[in-house]
């Protein structure tokens, strides 16, 4: 049986975001209901992947080891609720590095597509920023905007997105829509 996938951005979707970056496991705090929503996706037959820009590494705010510890906290808290993340992909580069993996460029999603042999037309991509929506549209994913994190600002600043995407208050509402096949 073919697996179904959902790709999530991290900051602003799963956990609270910060203009000062999430620099430690202690600073990483889940948005209420987000981990439960991921576990619900898993129970609904979906594998969950994360694709996240983490320029704080290149900026020197934290290193790969600290980022690994942050992700270990995320996965441990999620596992305590019966959920799991298949894999976390991240871009550690500075925006000025002009790498191909930093969203909205498609490199990170191309890596996911190659590794998992995905037809992205069947994959939901849930994010809170314009770069999330741009990469989802570029790669032919089904984009969903959540209004947590930068989502409200993204919707206000890019009203042209409204006809082409679904948007929901938070990850929990988005997951309910996916699982009820309303989108």
Residue 161 DSSP class: G
Residue range of the domain that includes 46: 4-179
Distance CA 158, CA 87 (A): 30
pLDDT attached to residue 111:
97
pLDDT attached to residue 1:
57
Whether 177 and 165 have beta carbons less than 8 Å apart is answered as no
pLDDT attached to residue 65:
97
> Which alpha helices (H) appear in the chain, and where do they start and end?
34-43, 64-79, 107-116, 130-138, 151-157, 171-179
Distance CA 123, CA 63 (A): 31
pLDDT, one tens digit for every residue, the chain (183 residues): 568 999 999 999 999 999 999 999 999 999 999 999 999 999 999 999 999 999 999 999 999 999 999 999 999 999 999 999 999 999 999 999 999 999 999 999 999 999 999 999 999 999 999 999 999 999 999 999 999 999 999 999 998 887 889 999 999 999 999 999 888
pLDDT attached to residue 2:
67
Distance CA 170, CA 181 (A): 17
Which position among 11, 17, 128, 132 bears the catalytic label?
Answer: 11
- The C-alpha R_g of the chain, in whole angstroms, comes to 15
119 catalytic per annotation = no
Phi, psi for 46 (deg, rounded to 5): -100, 140
Q: Helix 34-43 to helix 171-179 angle, to the nearest 10 degrees?
A: 20
How many structural domains are present in the chain? 1
Q: Taking the mean position of all CA atoms in its chain, how far away is CA 60?
A: 22
161's tokens = 């997105």
Question: CATH code at 166?
Answer: 3.40.50.1000
Which position among 9, 17, 128, 132 bears the catalytic label?
Answer: 9
pLDDT attached to residue 29:
98
65 catalytic per annotation = no
């Amino acid at each position: 049986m073919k697996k179904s996938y959902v790709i999530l951005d991290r900051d602003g979707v799963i956990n609270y975001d910060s203009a000062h970056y999430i620099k430690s496991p202690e600073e990483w705090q889940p948005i209420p209901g987000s981990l439960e929503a991921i576990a619900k996706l898993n129970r609904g037959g979906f594998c969950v992947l994360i694709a996240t820009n983490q320029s704080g590494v290149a900026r020197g705010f934290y290193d790969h080891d600290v980022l690994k510890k942050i992700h270990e906290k995320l996965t441990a808290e999620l596992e305590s609720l019966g959920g799991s993340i298949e894999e976390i992909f991240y871009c550690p580069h500075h925006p000025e590095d002009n790498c191909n993996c930093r969203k909205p460029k498609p490199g990170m999603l191309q890596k996911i597509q190659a590794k998992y042999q995905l037809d992205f037309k069947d994959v939901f991509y849930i994010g809170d920023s314009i770069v999330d929506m741009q990469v989802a549209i570029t790669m032919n994913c089904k984009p969903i905007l959540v209004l947590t994190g930068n989502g409200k600002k993204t919707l206000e600043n890019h009203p042209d997105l409204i006809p082409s995407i679904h948007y929901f208050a938070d990850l929990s509402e988005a997951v309910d829509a996916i699982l009820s096949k309303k989108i």
